[in-house]
Structure 1
Amino acid sequence: MTDVAVRNAAVALSGVAKEFGTGDTKTLALADIDLELPYGELVLLVGPSGCGKTTLISVVAGLLDATRGQTEVLGQNLTRMGGARKVRFRGDNIGFVFQQYNLLPALTAAENACVPLLIAGWSRAKAVAKARELLTAVGLGNRLDSYPNQLSGGQQQRVAIARALVHEPRLLVCDEPTAALDAASGRTVMELIRKVAVQPDRAVIVVTHDSRVYDFGDRIVSMADGRIERIETKNSPGVRAEH
């Protein structure tokens, strides 16, 4: 992996491995992963349960430290980054969307969506105003003051996406964002992720078991047993990873 390749990639992993436990209980969750993901793409990470998908995105997002290997994200070497600096980097640059919406029930849609800005030190008035603007952009302009229990599953997921995007992250990481949604709502959510988050200076990684949304991916990375088995792109389908 060249320095030029690293600079031009949103994510660049070289020999990344992750082990859990010690001795007889040691488990290899990731086995020497080499992977480059460019800016401006929506990447789908697919494979059976337990194959390492969530571990991989946790390493990419700086939530877990790799046991060995190099992890470059948005031009920064997370492998050499200290804990406090990594927390700041994550808060400034990475947005998260999960299968569970994790909305606070006592807050309105706008208040939920503005939480990252409040954590970053914005005034409440400016944070709520920015959140209201983004929620309107994702089609919830008429539900700004609704509470989570007044929203459908698809609407709650859109609030969660707005919350993930409100601080304009350069990398969006989504773990099964459509799993709890019906087909129509799932496609709406994926369309929203593509429209709002896939831009020339951003990248999106979506972990999914939902084959109904595969056509939204610019690149599909298939995993098995902690390894990358296959990478398919719209331009060159069927590329098998080398081990």
Structure 2
Amino acid sequence: MVYELLISDCDGVLVDSEILADRVMREALAAVVPAEPLEHLLETTFGQTTREVLRRVEEHFALQLPETLLAQIQARSEALIAAEVQPIAGVRAALEQIPLPLAVASNSRRHNVIASVERVGLTARAAGRIFSADMVERPKPAPDVYLLAARTAGVAPERCLVIEDSPTGATAAVAAGMQVLGFTGASHIPQGHADTLRRLGVLAVFDDMRDLPALFERLAQKRAG
């Protein structure tokens, strides 16, 4: 069974943005949450929406955060990412060598995903196939955004190949019935992350986008029999 659609996560796969968003979150919570316990908690929320991270913080520390904090963090993150974010090294060249239609499926808000795709230079390649958390009922780790991408493209989930960097996203893609490659080359990746992704069921893990075309070729040949 051949692949018919390549679906890429955005933050941490197309652009090196997770480390910037993480910085904003830590700064916003520094006055109300001890640094070390927050560090441990944020390690478990990698890839989740800002809203869900704040909900987890409230639950874990038994506190109520200001209602305005979500909007403040989102605005600050968007401004910082717009000013400083860089594409993942080699990602455009790598994706252009994959002979499949490209979709993008992200837990970020749609306008941010569109801006990131444009920054990488993949707007035309992913035209009509950019999907975000605000387009579905449930964000990752639910499979909704991946299933929407497949359904819109008219491709069965089992014929989709996904590139993900987070446990949240990998869980979503596996739950959607898709095959997943784990990317660990972004700036925010913690030690031991590759093993975490493997335990979640990814096919292979790579940390350099230059390796993606050859990795895809091996997988495609194996599936073709």
Q: TM-score, normalised by structure 1?
A: 0.24
The structure richer in strand per residue is: 1
The structure richer in helix per residue is: 2
Larger Rg: 1
